[in-house]
């Protein structure tokens, strides 16, 4: 009985993490299984001991990321102060986020996921739902916003990330991000 189950599970998670980072920043079609495996010090062949194919890895990596997301953590905590909002805005709408540090799939894969299989789209939709729920929960404590206003707010935040990533000029990006931080802050009762 070589290798402990723990070891395999750890390897699996390394692959998921690697895949998530690369898929979100480059998109499904621009990343090879080779690259994903190399990125976590493994090789192509090992892949198929863990996943059936590339498409399922994509879906699994989305689920994996959602399960580790800070957004869901926030939801569980009793939100007791406004630091959550500040963290959200400063983290999500930041140049660091745009450049790929802890990317959120909602903004990064908004177009990419459209052409994926139903499972992948479902994973994306669940993450989207989670984000809305988390912000709605916050808004309930601190604002008079109804859920429609939160839907629009979420679209703005995700849109800002998606658009920022298409732009080359950092000044333009910062202006966009700053505008959206400002608007979101106001809408959510101040930071």
Q: Which residues bind DNA (CB under 7 A)?
A: 1-5, 7-8, 11, 31-34, 37, 41-50, 53-55
Task: Tell me, by CB under 8 A, how many residues bind a copy of itself.
Answer: 47
Q: What 8-state DSSP symbol labels residue 191?
A: -
The number of beta carbons lying within 10 Å of the beta carbon of residue 51 is: 19
Closest CA relative to residue 105, chosen from 89, 83, 134, 127:
127
Integer Cα distance of 143 and 58 in angstroms: 37
Integer Cα distance of 161 and 155 in angstroms: 10
Rg (CA), the chain: 18
Per rule CB under 8 A, is residue 158 in the interface with a copy of itself?
A: yes
Per rule CB under 8 A, is residue 111 in the interface with a copy of itself?
A: yes
Integer Cα distance of 112 and 29 in angstroms: 9
Q: How far is the CB of 153 from a copy of itself (least distance, A)?
A: 8
Integer Cα distance of 160 and 182 in angstroms: 12
Per rule CB under 8 A, is residue 183 in the interface with a copy of itself?
A: yes
Considering only the C-alpha atoms of the chain, give the largest distance between any 2 of them, rounded to a whole number of Å. Answer: 60
Nearest CB to a copy of itself, comparing residues 7 and 86: 86
Part of the chain binding a copy of itself (CB under 8 A), chosen from 35-43, 69-77, 81-89, 163-171: 163-171
Closest CA relative to residue 18, chosen from 169, 44, 185:
44
Q: How far is the CB of 15 from a copy of itself (least distance, A)?
A: 22
Nearest CB to a copy of itself, comparing residues 60 and 112: 112
Per rule CB under 8 A, is residue 90 in the interface with a copy of itself?
A: no
Which position has the token pair 């879906």? Answer: 59
From the list a copy of itself, DNA, none, partner contacted by residue 158 (C-beta under 5 to 8 A by kind): a copy of itself
Part of the chain binding a copy of itself (CB under 8 A), chosen from 11-19, 71-79, 84-92, 107-115: 107-115
- What is the binding site for a copy of itself (CB under 8 A)? 26-27, 29-30, 106, 108-115, 118, 121-122, 124-125, 128, 148-149, 151-160, 162-163, 165-169, 172, 175-176, 178-180, 182-184
């Amino acid at each position: 009985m070589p290798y402990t189950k723990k070891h395999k599970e750890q390897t699996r998670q390394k692959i998921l993490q690697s895949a998530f980072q690369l898929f979100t920043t480059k998109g499904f079609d621009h990343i090879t299984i080779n690259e994903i495996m190399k990125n976590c010090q493994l090789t192509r062949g090992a892949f198929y001991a863990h996943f059936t194919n590339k498409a399922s890895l994509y879906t699994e990596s989305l689920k994996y990321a959602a399960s580790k997301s800070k957004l869901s953590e926030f939801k569980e905590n009793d939100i007791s102060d406004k630091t959550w909002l500040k963290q959200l805005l400063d983290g999500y709408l930041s140049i660091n986020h745009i450049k790929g540090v802890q990317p959120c799939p909602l903004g990064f894969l908004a177009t990419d996921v459209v052409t994926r299989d139903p499972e992948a789209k479902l994973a994306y939709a669940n993450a989207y739902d989670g984000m809305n729920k988390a912000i709605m929960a916050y808004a309930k404590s601190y604002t008079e916003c109804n859920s429609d206003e939160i839907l629009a707010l979420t679209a703005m935040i995700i849109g800002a990330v998606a658009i920022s990533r298409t732009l080359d000029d950092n000044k333009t990006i910062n202006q966009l991000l700053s505008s959206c931080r400002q608007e979101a802050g106001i809408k959510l009762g101040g930071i």
